Amino acid sequence: MIKLITLAIMFFAVFFASISFNIIFHETAHYVVADAYNLDPEMHFAPEGMSASGLYSMDSSIAYVQYSSDTTSITAEDAIIASAGPFANLFLACMGLFFYFNPKRSQVTKILLILIIVPSFVSFAINILPVFPGDGYYILQYLF
């Protein structure tokens, strides 16, 4: 029974850590690309006391990046910056899959890797959707 409780605690800890890491990694990718374009990006985090339910909202302000722009229209730079976040999540998911299919992995390690892979793919899928205010919206607006 103790082993089961320990595994359950580890399961939830890795799952929530994975979600948090995906958000930070996603926003860091936006920041790095905006910085590469010399747009003076700033990363912002949720104000103290914000509920964790914001993690599942597309317009969540758990973490976000702001940068300066000379225009209000969506430029190629904006589209590239927008695509950096979802593709960072896709990269995490692919790296998780790479390690998952190593034949030397234990079952527990594979379960923990699934807890990293699934949120990464879900984050990619949600963020690439062309729905305002997601990243996919800005990519689609630039393309059309």
pLDDT band for 51, please (50, 70, 90 cuts): very low
- Name the percent of the chain lying above pLDDT 90: 51
Please report the pLDDT score of residue 31 as a whole number: 95
Which residue in 46, 73, 76 sits closest to 62, CA to CA? 46
- pLDDT greater than 80 at residue 142: yes
Domain count, the chain: 1
Q: Which domain holds residue 91?
A: 2-143
Three-class DSSP labels, the chain: CHHHHHHHHHHHHHHHHHHHHHHHHHHHHHHHHHHHCCCCCEEEECCCCCCHHHHHCCCCCCEEEECCCCCCCCCHHHHHHHHHHHHHHHHHHHHHHHHHCCCCCCHHHHHHHHHHHHHHHHHHHHHHCCCCCCHHHHHHHHHC
